[in-house]
Structure 1
Amino acid sequence: MGKLVGEFNAYRSKMNEKILASDNKVMKRIYGIDTLTYQEGALSTKVKEMLGLATSMVLRCDDCVKYHLEKCYEQGVTTKEIFEVFSVANLVGGTIVIPHTRRAVEYWEELHDGKN
C-alpha cells in the first residue's frame, strides 16, 4: 500500500472511531444508511461505487473521491471504466473538476502500485 492510500485509510479509521464513539444516534444512522446504500440491489455494488465516485467528483470532495476509488478498485473496476467515470464527472461538473481528476488519477495509480 502506498503512502497516500495508507495515510488516508489510517486517518479515516481513526476519525470514524471517534465519531462513532460519541454514541450519537443520528451519526450512527447516517453511517448505517451509507453502508446500506452501497449493498447489492437492483444496481450492483460496482455500479453504485462508480456512481458514488462520479457524484463525489462533481461535489469536489477529495476524501469521498479517494474512498470511492478504493471501493471501485476492490470491485474490479478497470482503468478504462474509471476514466469513463471521470469523463462523466467532468462533463457534469465542468472544468472545476479537473484538479480533483488529477488527484484521483494519482490515487488510482497508487492503488495499482503504478502497474496500471
Structure 2
Amino acid sequence: MSKKIQEFNEYRSKMNEKILATDNKVIKRIFNLDTNAFKEGHLPVKTKELLGLVASAVLRCDDCIQYHLESAMESGVSKEEMMETMSIANLVGGTIVIPHLRKALEYWELLEEEKQ
C-alpha cells in the first residue's frame, strides 16, 4: 500500500476513534448522519460519492477529497468520471480549486496503483 494512502487511512481511523471515544452525543450523531447519507438510497452510492467529491473540492478539503476518491473508486467510478466530476467542481469553485484538482489526480493515481 502506498505510504501516503496508508498514513491517511491510519490517521483518519486513529483520530475518529479518539473523537468518538469522547462520547459527545452531537458528534456521534453527525458521524452517524454522514454514514447514513452515503448509503444506497434513491441515488446510488456511486452518485453520492461523486456529489461528495464535488462538495469537498468546492470547500477545498483535501482530506474529504481523498476520502471520497477512495469511496468513489470502491463504488466503480472510472478516472474519466472522476475527472468530469472534478471539472464541475472547478467550474463551481473557480480557479482556487485547481491546486486541489492536482492533489486529487495525484491521489487517484496512487489508488489506481494500489488497485493493480
Normalising by structure 1, we get a TM-score of: 0.97
Q: Cα offset for 1:4? A: 1.3
Structure 1 unaligned spans of 5+:
none
| Paired AA for residue 66 in structure 1 | Q
Q: Which runs of 5+ in 2 are unaligned?
A: none
SS in 2 for 1:107: helix
Answering whether residue 3 of structure 2 is matched by residue 3 of structure 1, we say yes
**Contact 1:65/1:104 (8 A) holds in 2:** yes
Larger RCO (CA under 8 A, 6+ residues apart): 1
CA RMSD of aligned residues (A): 1.4
Aligned to 2:65: 65
Partner of 2:41: 41
State the number of aligned residues: 116
Output one character per residue of 1:48-99: Cα deviation in whole Å (capped at 9) or x when no partner: 0000001100000000000000000100100000000010000000000000
Partner of 1:86: 86
How big is each residue's C-alpha offset from its partner over 1:12-71, in whole Å with a ceiling of 9 and x where there is no partner?
000000000001100100000000100111100110000000110000000000000000
Q: Write the letter of the residue equivalent to 1:110.
A: L
Verify the 8 A CA contact 1:46 1:72 in the aligned structure 2.
Answer: yes
Amino acid at match of 2:5: V
1:25-40 correspondence runs (5 A): 25-40=25-40
Aligned partner of 2:77 in structure 1 is 77
TM-score w.r.t. the length of structure 2 is 0.97
Cα distance in 2 between the residues matched to 1:85 and 1:68: 12
Quote how far apart the aligned CAs of 1:114 are: 7.7
